[in-house]
Structure 1
Amino acid sequence: MPEAKGQLTIRSHGSADDLFQLLEWFNDDDQLRGRVSLPANRIRPGQMGDLYDVLVVAVGAGGIAPALARSLTAWFTARRSDIAVTLKLDDHTEITLDAKRIQTPEITQALQSMLERSHDSQ
């Protein structure tokens, strides 16, 4: 199944700590390790240091949607808290996933559909 080439960003509707925890979670996943990172941020005037608000996922060949869906579902389940994340592609296609209504088949289908639409529009 073709996938979009480029980047997928993941934005937490929580704190920066949520992003760091999610990055650690992805780094423990053999299929996602090395494909998810924090982007380099510039320090803005008046800012004390880096402020991270997104993770970046390298998408392309390799069928990342099922691995990402599985890992996100497990992370939501392990956290046992009310959190949501928004996933957005370079072409501005986006979906929001809410921990209250999370199920692996639906996430996998939504991610694959989003990636296919992006690929078809290129």
Structure 2
Amino acid sequence: MDVKVIAEGLDSGNQLRLLRDWLTDAQELRGRVDGVERPPETGTLGPVLDALSVALGPAGAASAFATGLIAWLRTRRGDVHIKVTLPDRSSLELTAKRVSGLDADALQQQVSEVADLLSRQQGDTDVPERRELP
């Protein structure tokens, strides 16, 4: 299963590059994270990073992705908004503001919810069309 990750807001391309670097530090995700680029706009140099595509084959990859995404969001300052879209077009949205202040238990709960959602999707069970996590 491939999931698509986009960043919204200012400097979204750079945020995606940083997230890609962070995720590929996890052994379970090496070789599974690719950039999705669009051609450069007239008068600019090089393509623009629009999204990340993450291949979540084995169960460990879904957990590694959920853990890495939440951990990365905790390190962000400012208003970073990430949207993860699943193959059935359902999605979940996460923001750095909502993750940065979580205590250890709430943080673990957040990771578990994201991993469970991804795992259910891999098993083709019903997933809410759109879910915004606290």
TM-score, length-scaled by structure 1: 0.78
Give a deviation string over 1:62-108, Cα, whole Å, max 9, x none: 33222112111221222233312000012101100111222232233
Q: Percent identity?
A: 30
1:67 has 2:68 as partner = no
Q: Which residues of 2 match residues 1-122 of structure 1 at below 5 A?
A: 6-14=1-9, 15-39=12-36, 41-43=37-39, 46=42, 48=44, 49-102=46-99, 103-117=107-121, 119-120=123-124
1:99 and 1:42 mapped to 2: Cα distance?
26
Instruction: State how many pairs are aligned.
Output: 116
Contact preservation (8 Å) 1:85, 1:98: yes
> For the aligned residues, what is the CA RMSD?
2.4
The structure in which a higher percent of residues are strand is 2
Select the structure with the greater relative contact order (CA < 8 A; seq sep ≥ 6). 1
TM-score (norm 2): 0.72
Runs of 4+ deviating beyond 4 Å: none
How many Å separate the matches in 1 of 2:73 and 2:16? 12
